[in-house]
Amino acid sequence: MFPQNKIEPLQLALKSLELYEGKIDGIVGPLTLAAIKKFEALALERPTLDKPMPHESAEKPDALNSIIDGQGADIEDALVFTLKNEGGYVDHPLDKGGPTNKGITIRTLSKYLGRKATRDDVKNLNYETIKIIYRKYYWDVLNLDHVLDQGIATALFDMGVLCGTGTASRICQDMLGITQSKKMDLQTLDALNETTDEQFIPAFADRNIRRFEEIVAKNPDQRVFLKGWKNRANRLLSLVNNDDMEADVPASAPQTPIGEGLYDLADQAGVPREDIKKMIDWQAANNPVSNPRYWVVFKIREHSKNKRMYVFDRLDRKVKVVHAVHGTGSDPDNDGVATLFSNVPESKKSSLGLYKTLGTYVMAKHGRALRLEGLESTNNNALKRGIVFHGVPYAGDEYVKQYGRCGRSFGCPAVEYAVVQDLIDKLKGGSLFLIS
């Protein structure tokens, strides 16, 4: 990607711009790549667009606990997307907003600084100041730390910047069938976290485009901006993960028992038969026409140095066993043994019980992940808490060899990055997943 002798000078340049926080080591790692993305976002300048009017602001949100246990969206990802949409420094005499840089007007900067900003202040905005301002006046107002899906959060943020946070909230609530309050409240966030990017983002883009057309119909002099507004809304479609919501789950053949072969596999792997029975009984009672190929038992009470997540392939008659992590709150001493379990938000504890896999989405911190629906009273807050199946860097043979145990999550069952995507593809769309 880069000549080896150019990497250290690149890191030094990025550090001088306050975009890179890592070591000058000549290695293109995650921190270097993130800094490059920030630089590209700052350097790319599209023509500056006038903002659609009225530019409504959302009401101050209520204080919320971390309802998704720290697994929410990240402003860094959203900001890279939005800064590519915003123009660079402009000071057009006909622009009512005055001097503007990366979407931040001199008025907004003055509000942030608590004094009258100068043109040089606007011209010399750095990335960290831009991020602070966008977090304070847009991201936090929309409560986007509490949105699970990064793509959905980025779409709301980008349209909030373009049209106002109040407009973004109102359109979102109207789409979700929620009473419009111009406030991203708990009801709105719960509904958002139960939808998918495939369902939300195309419809959200379409609603915004229709609004732009309505604005131009009422104010024909705004037509000059319509194409740019539409293009920006259509760019939201690039945020959709484009992963299928449902996996290919084989239906039961006539006279073939649900979960056929699982008991024999469990005996071979040393998994209690009662765990298998619990899954088969639920499937037979609730979805008897489906007979998933893959089933999972996570023996969470075993020490995390052991491979304790069992993935059963009932067609090939195989069992794959991998290292898996438990929640920080379940193992407060960090000794590798989970002893405490909870269904309560913000507990950072793992939840025991039976889950059904749903579709995938993209997490800000861990990439593509698999949603889990809790099927029992011990885990039925899984969607609300953001308890999902995802990859981590602190699991697997090498990590265990070095530390004598796996690391800990915020409550999610997680496995090493090297195996997670293959498992997600196998499990998504209706497999059963038991934590016992």
Tell me how long the chain is.
Answer: 436
pLDDT tens sequence across 225-255:
888 899 999 999 989 876 544 444 544 444 5
8 Å CB contact between 411 and 351? yes
pLDDT tens sequence across 278-315:
999 999 999 888 889 999 999 999 999 999 999 999 99
Give the span between the Cα atoms of 181 and 215, in whole angstroms.
21
The pTM score is 0.64
Q: For 45-63, what is the mean pLDDT? A: 57
Query: Which of 58, 70, 233 minimizes the C-alpha distance to 148?
Result: 70
Q: pLDDT at position 186, please?
A: 86
- The three-state secondary structure class of 408 is strand
Residues 6+ apart with CB under 8 A from 76: 34, 38, 131, 364
Tell me the pLDDT band of 384, cut-offs 50, 70 and 90.
confident
Q: What is 262-435's CATH number, 3.40.309.10, 3.90.78.10, 2.40.440.10, 1.10.10.60?
A: 2.40.440.10
pLDDT tens sequence across 158-186:
999 988 899 999 999 999 998 888 788 88
pLDDT at 43 over 80: no
Q: Give CATH 1.20.141.10 domain extents, the chain.
A: 75-239
Give the span between the Cα atoms of 188 and 182, in whole angstroms.
10
CATH number of 75-239: 1.20.141.10
What tokens were used for 112? 């942030």
- The three-state secondary structure class of 138 is helix
Query: Which of 363, 220, 355, 335 minimizes the C-alpha distance to 282?
Result: 355
More reliable by pLDDT, 297 or 78: 297
Please report, as a single letter, which amino acid is at residue 288: P
Q: Give CATH 2.40.440.10 domain extents, the chain.
A: 262-435
- One-letter-per-residue 3-state SS of 17-47: CCCCCCCCCCCCCHHHHHHHHHHHHHHCCCC
Q: How many CB atoms lie within 10 A of CB 1?
A: 6
Please report, as a single letter, which amino acid is at residue 400: V
Give the span between the Cα atoms of 169 and 186, in whole angstroms.
13
Beta strand pairing call for 432-435 and 353-363: antiparallel
Q: pLDDT at position 246, please?
A: 46
- Alpha carbon of residue 121 to chain centroid: 34
Query: Which of 432, 426, 423 minimizes the C-alpha distance to 280?
Result: 432
pLDDT tens sequence across 97-144:
688 888 888 989 999 999 999 999 999 998 889 999 999 999 999 999
Integer CA distances (angstroms), 91 to 1, 48, 286, 354, in order:
37, 11, 63, 59
More reliable by pLDDT, 368 or 256: 368
8 Å CB contact between 305 and 311? no
Query: Which of 125, 134, 149 minimizes the C-alpha distance to 76?
Result: 134
Q: pLDDT at position 3, please?
A: 66
